Chains A and B, each alone.
Chain A
Amino acid sequence: MSLLKSVKQNLRVIFMAFEIEFRQSFTDAFVLFGIIVQPMIVAFMALWMLRDQVADYAIFVVVGSGMTGLWTTLLFQGGNSITGERWTGTLEPLSCAPAPLRAVVSGKLLASISQSLLSIAFCYTFISLMMGLPVSIAKPWLFAGSILLTVVAFIAFGLIIGSLFILNPDVQRFQNGLEFVVYIFSGFLFPIALLPMWTTPLSYILTPYWAARALHAASSGSGSNGEIYFCWAMLIAFSVVYAIASKFLFKSILRKAREDATLNMQ
């Protein structure tokens, strides 16, 4: 099979999984909460808490609270992407099909992330209008590029989260806590300079940190183009590393599930 054909087939799998997930999750109240209600409340609170500074920072708060919604979606949807199929009994047929499970999960993640982006766009327009905050993007093209790379990097990160949660259920117990930890260390709503120095390396190894930095810089115009390109490079590097790592992780979780008879759980 030629490489081109293989790429085309797997892209088709990703888009199909995207379509299926997109349509299914719009009827799931739990997903709707994570994607719409929670980010809206966080955004409202952040805007209100920061309103005295917001005059210049409106776009900072809007982008930052958007990132919180995006991360929460990824943490919960990505974290449960494989486990969920295991409970519905569909992981067996999925893992037996020739298409790699990674392609399926990528498509599902793309769906969740797109939904999150849509809801962010919607709820910020709404809130900004309601609160009368001026929202304009300083560097629209670089902003669009940053969004695209953020989506790619988040998908790659989601693949890792989903498989780690299966490999080590103890990590999953901290799922709720990881939500705010990443909000904090990624500098979504306040600069990480507020944090103690020793935590800075922790921020640097988080994909969401680089995504937030690129998006903040491009939207508020506070950063130079060079800084944005540097963040892009980091996002690309993380995506590549995660994509390669996920290949091995998926192989090992599927192998382990076949050994432990945990492909299907009731």
Chain B
Amino acid sequence: MEKLKLNIKIFFEGAYLSYVGLFRWLRPTTYLATLVFSPLTQMLFFVLIGTYAQGNDKAYFYVIGNALMNAAMSGIYGVTMSIGGDRWDGTLPYLFGAPANRMMVFLGRAFMHILNGMIGVLIGLMWGWLLFHMDFSATNPLALLLTILVTTFSTAGLGLLMGCIGLITRNVMFVNNTVYFVLLVFSGANLELSTLPKWMQVVSNYLPLTRGIASARAIIAGHGLADVSRLLVEEFGIGLFFALLGYTLFRWFEVTAKKRGTLEVF
């Protein structure tokens, strides 16, 4: 019981510290710029192209897709930076030297970004309501929230993996940007997946976000939780898979770095 309490403490300390560390320079303008303004412009751009191509009836399709992309924004950039940040600040040796439960440290880092990502998605949907008069009357709010939570979790899982790859390679931002744009194409946020070439559909199937977006579209259109439960379970599973892969890599990195004494070098 004591051990559990300790682990919970480690988890929240890690969550808090990584978040504060990341937004050390955070001011209201920065927050607005990165989490409200920037996602809005991206959404508008794709909604306008989409409606130009297919008419105003299709606006929801793009609003929902791009709102859910905000989950990926937090999941990938936020989580990666909070892991990569340790290397840049030179605090990695300290972290590895601490007796804290690694899993808790690791997940703690993702936690706040999941929360943040959920807020981002909600803001995105709010824009849809305000600007495109999106209709939520048939929507089951709890099911929608669950979808958002699961989707943000699964992108954060990918973020944990990317963060660990970031620890090994030097070009964290290059990797991040590429992954973000790959998700933009393959997740179906802006493209009807069924129209894509077969090989692209196969890739989509193995990525987080794809099922989350599909599920959100279904729920907003009036489907119940039962209709999307399979999608959500799979989305969660994909997130868990990437998170575990990231964790394994993290431990491997720790062991190798300790063995070779390269904690600072990295």
**Which residues of A does B touch, CB under 8 Å?**
29-30, 32-33, 37-38, 41, 44-46, 48-50, 52-53, 170, 173-174, 176-181, 183-184, 189-191, 194-195
* Contact with B41, one of A50, A170, A181 (Cβ below 8 angstroms): A181
Given known contacts A52-B54, A180-B42, is B48 in contact with A194 (CB within 8 Å)?
Answer: yes
* Contact with A29, one of B45, B48, B52, B171 (Cβ below 8 angstroms): B171
* Contact with A189, one of B41, B49, B178, B181 (Cβ below 8 angstroms): B49
B181 adjacent to A50 (CB under 8 Å): no
Contacts of B33 in A (CB 8 A): 173-174, 176-177
B173 adjacent to A180 (CB under 8 Å): no
Residues of B21-65 whose CB lies within 8 A of A: 29-30, 33-34, 37-38, 40-42, 44-46, 48-54
User: Size of chain B's interface in residues, with CB distance under 8 A?
Assistant: 32
Contacts of A190 in B (CB 8 A): 48-49, 52
B155 interface contact, C-beta 8 A: no
Minimal Cβ-Cβ distance residue in B for A34? B177
B191 adjacent to A49 (CB under 8 Å): yes
A174 adjacent to B37 (CB under 8 Å): yes
Contacts of B178 in A (CB 8 A): 33, 37
State how many angstroms separate the Cβ of B203 from the closest Cβ of chain A. Answer: 14
B41 adjacent to A33 (CB under 8 Å): no
Contacts of B45 in A (CB 8 A): 180, 183-184
6 smallest CB-CB distances across A and B, nearest first, come from A180-B41, A190-B52, A29-B174, A177-B38, A173-B33, A177-B37
Minimal Cβ-Cβ distance residue in B for A50? B53
B119 interface contact, C-beta 8 A: no
C-alpha gap A30/B40 in the complex (Å): 24
Given known contacts A37-B178, A45-B190, is B53 in contact with A194 (CB within 8 Å)?
Answer: no
Given contacts A41-B181, A189-B52, 14 further A-B contacts (CB under 8 A): A45-B185, A49-B50, A49-B191, A50-B53, A52-B53, A52-B54, A53-B52, A173-B29, A176-B38, A177-B40, A178-B41, A184-B44, A189-B49, A191-B52
C-alpha gap A178/B37 in the complex (Å): 9
C-alpha gap A180/B178 in the complex (Å): 17
Given known contacts A181-B41, A190-B48, is B181 in contact with A53 (CB within 8 Å)?
Answer: no
Contacts of A173 in B (CB 8 A): 29-30, 33-34
B184 adjacent to A50 (CB under 8 Å): no
C-alpha gap A52/B50 in the complex (Å): 11
A38 adjacent to B181 (CB under 8 Å): yes
C-alpha gap A94/B37 in the complex (Å): 35
State how many angstroms separate the Cβ of B181 from the closest Cβ of chain A. Answer: 5
C-alpha gap A41/B183 in the complex (Å): 11
State how many angstroms separate the Cβ of B237 from the closest Cβ of chain A. Answer: 27
A184 adjacent to B51 (CB under 8 Å): no
B185 adjacent to A44 (CB under 8 Å): yes
A50 adjacent to B52 (CB under 8 Å): yes
C-alpha gap A111/B38 in the complex (Å): 27
B38 adjacent to A45 (CB under 8 Å): no
Residues of B165-203 whose CB lies within 8 A of A: 171, 173-174, 177-178, 181-182, 184-185, 190-191, 195-196
Given known contacts A38-B177, A49-B190, A179-B41, is B29 in contact with A170 (CB within 8 Å)?
Answer: yes
Contacts of B53 in A (CB 8 A): 49-50, 52-53
Minimal Cβ-Cβ distance residue in B for A40? B181
19 contacts between A and B (CB under 8 A): A33-B177, A37-B181, A38-B181, A41-B182, A45-B184, A45-B191, A48-B195, A48-B196, A49-B46, A49-B50, A53-B52, A53-B53, A173-B34, A174-B37, A176-B33, A176-B38, A181-B41, A190-B49, A194-B51
C-alpha gap A184/B43 in the complex (Å): 11
B51 adjacent to A41 (CB under 8 Å): no
